[in-house]
Structure 1
Amino acid sequence: MSLSNADLATVSDLAARRRATTTVAQAEALTARVVDTDRLAVSLLDEFRAAWSTGDHDQMTAVILAAIDLDQATPDSPRLMDEIRGIQMPAAA
């Protein structure tokens, strides 16, 4: 079963063709990957915060390296390293 496009007039021809050839299983697999990536990003951010609060520089470095790998593997997702840099920056008053 393929996903259908209810309003072909509002999307480009390329998007319409892509949607017509994408199966429900493919869409669900993509969604699962995004959810897993989001969970990993949240976990890494939590680990970094915990390491930051205790001053564990080795753990912070390990999380940063994992975050860089995740950012490179998922270029269309929000950048985890931007979030980590935000933790390290002092807040503006």
Structure 2
Amino acid sequence: MAGPTLSRFLGLFRMRDASDPSRVAAVSSDGAVKVEGVTLRDSTGGAISPDRYPQTLTYNGDGTVNTVSFTDGTYTWTQTFTYTAGKVIGISAWVQS
């Protein structure tokens, strides 16, 4: 039987940012980090909410994901993936176009 995972262990805790008590992070039982009170920003500093919109993926010739994007009907935001030896090594900031 496998021992408890770090995410399960951390799921027992809620972490509060001492510099901003309204920001709280917790690790759920599925390992996802959930942060409350934090605004996601694009490369220009504008607030964005990609989870509120359908996201579109584009692919490279080798089948790896090239970009993920979403639109609010006026603007489109895109993140680009960078690879080395077939493994993701970077994801860009959300870039508005």
TM tier relative to shorter chain = under 0.3
Could you say which structure has the higher strand fraction?
A: 2
**RCO higher in structure (CA 8 A, sep ≥6):** 1
What's the TM-score, normalizing by structure 1? 0.23
Structure with bigger gyration radius: 1
Could you say which structure has the higher helix fraction?
A: 1
What's the TM-score, normalizing by structure 2? 0.23
